[in-house]
Chain A
């Protein structure tokens, strides 16, 4: 995934198995625009993009069926075969909110099309024309030349492009999207190519520099094809075989990423780029769960390989803020615990004043992001949400489909690169006002009152296909049990610590019910996520000595399933009542209302549950290990 970040569009979730079927059914959908956009939001291969483009063509009339897609007409002029690229651009544009019409012309006629005022491209009145020319289209060669002669050659090639641009401006007043040229990997002298004026590399570099300088003050927009090609590797970008066979201007494998670049650039031209980055905290901007390991033990230090990975996320977020992207936080944490890291941790790059809205609480993140959106008066389609936890990403995607939620690789060292590769904050130019935008939002910074939780959560949880496994303590689980018992601070009712030897004893104690609990879901196995220890206090009473859970699975209904299991086991053992305690430690505010919310009744310091009462309904599959 990391090796093929760009060609696989790895920041997008993988297409579902029924992708083809859904494409086929788009026309029958009640809301085809929404469905097309949803289908476009996956990482699609070239054939999948073609299929989606065909599905889109089938529903374009009447156009009022697609109210959420903005119409855009893009002319394609170039020297290679663009027929394969046009449908990919159409489909990728759906991803960025456009009902795109691509105007293509017969192969090899780009100059005639630009210069003939009655041509197809002029008559189409395009919103923009993409001049997809590569180095083969321009007179960038000649016999051995000195620097002066090379300059003349480059001037000539730039004049060709300028001529096309002027003709397009004059003929139909359209904006041009121009490309830098991707250099060829074949060298002539080798390391001396860039300093030898007669080589292709020298001329291509000089051309690109001139092209970029010439855009100042022009409404035309740059597609930096050279940068894209270098990012994926020039040797991969240029396929001599595919050029020879079909005049593909670059290897077919890069059609999806190229098409996405075009679509995001169109988005930037139309002001649709995203404007706010919402950050999760634990294991996204620092390593570790601060509520469990404590502020001193999160990974964020320079010089520590893990810490540096997270610093790169913080650094990138700060750079985005410098260019006007608003930052916000949505984290499952105690507000005070999370803020303290921003205020006091010496290694933090991000500080409280960089964050326009800071939402650290235990509510679901979709509700939090909605609250942030309302506070900032920014539409949800302006938001990007960065979170290492696939379940949190899934829930936000499902409930707030307008929010962009990048997939992240397992290794945090690649978080910043993946976020950058997605190009959510694409911009055609940078203005001083951009810089001030983040400050403007921060002046209003405050914690937002929570909205009521969004509906549909149960449906989402059901779609996770969760399976909970209850097992007695055993030798296999001992290390992880010890780790959970000695490290969990937040979701921990009593915070009692036990040594591995004591845990081994519990395995044999007939007056103790000790359960290790695992959870798996569609995203994989979460491993052991909860531990419960009950002790027989009396012939018919169990005291809940320990009840803890990893915050990673918060909000999944695990605690209700655990209670259900305790009730069943209590009944089988002739126990009439469960008694639990909440022992506050300053770190476990999260579970202050744990017993109350599960239906336990207060009895002085204790909380009691009569097991003859009904048990919670099951919300997932149960297994016994």
Chain B
């Protein structure tokens, strides 16, 4: 099972890589509005890479259900329990 902090750390790497920005700080409440360059296209790339890293597939419905980074982290941690 994954810990929240390990998921945040992996996500920070993915965001930094896709957005080419080393100053990314992710919190539970972070949304696309808070981060430069996080738009619909980079969102897809972030979701694809997150899926690869955690060996998950996100359906469109799941992606739409994430309202902030906290939702995404909770989803990944939850999946790792099964």
Q: Which residues of A contact B (CB under 8 A)?
A: 20, 46-47, 50-51, 54, 81, 83-84, 241-242, 244-246, 248, 252-253
Contacts and interface: CB of A to CB of B under 8 A. Distances in A.
Contact of A252 (B20, B44, B57, B63): B44
B12 interface: no
Given A241-B59, A245-B60, A51 B41 contact: no
A81 B41 contact: yes
11 contacts: A47-B17, A47-B45, A47-B49, A84-B44, A241-B60, A245-B47, A245-B63, A246-B40, A252-B45, A252-B48, A253-B48
B45 A84 contact: yes
Contact of B20 (A51, A81, A244): A51
Contact of A50 (B20, B40, B44, B60): B20
Given A47-B45, A47-B49, A245-B60, 19 more contacts: A46-B45, A47-B18, A47-B20, A50-B18, A51-B20, A81-B41, A84-B44, A84-B45, A241-B57, A241-B59, A241-B60, A242-B44, A245-B44, A245-B47, A245-B63, A246-B40, A246-B41, A252-B45, A252-B48
Contacts of A248: 44
Interface of B: 17-18, 20, 40-41, 44-45, 47-49, 57, 59-60, 63
Contacts of A51: 20
B60 A244 contact: yes
Contact of A242 (B18, B40, B48, B49): B48
Nearest to B47: A245
Contacts of A20: 20
Contacts of A84: 41, 44-45
A205 to B, nearest CB: 30
B41 A83 contact: yes
* Centre residue among A20, A47, A252, A253 by max chain B CB count within 10 A: A47
A185 B63 CA distance: 25
A594 to B, nearest CB: 51
B24 to A, nearest CB: 13
B28 to A, nearest CB: 24
A81 B18 CA distance: 17
Contacts, number: 34
Contacts of B49: 47
B18 A246 contact: no
A81 B40 CA distance: 11
A47 B14 CA distance: 10
B81 to A, nearest CB: 24
A20 B19 CA distance: 12
A81 B57 CA distance: 21
B20 A54 contact: yes
A241 B56 CA distance: 13
A339 to B, nearest CB: 50
Nearest to A244: B60
* 7 interchain residue pairs of minimum CB distance: A246-B44, A47-B17, A51-B20, A47-B18, A252-B48, A245-B60, A245-B44
* Centre residue among A46, A54, A241, A252 by max chain B CB count within 10 A: A241
Contacts of B40: 246
Nearest to A255: B45
Contacts of A47: 17-18, 20, 45, 49
Nearest to B46: A47
Contacts of B45: 46-47, 84, 252
* Centre residue among A51, A245, A248 by max chain B CB count within 10 A: A245
Nearest to B63: A245
A54 B47 CA distance: 22
Contacts of B18: 47, 50
A81 B41 CA distance: 9
Contacts of B60: 241, 244-245
Nearest to B49: A47
Contacts of B41: 81, 83-84, 246
B38 to A, nearest CB: 14
A58 to B, nearest CB: 12
Contacts of B59: 241
Contacts of A46: 45
Nearest to B20: A51
Contacts of B63: 245
A158 B73 CA distance: 48
* Centre residue among B18, B44, B63 by max chain A CB count within 10 A: B44
Nearest to B52: A253
A247 to B, nearest CB: 10
A232 to B, nearest CB: 16
Contacts of A54: 20
A299 to B, nearest CB: 39
A236 to B, nearest CB: 13
Nearest to A54: B20
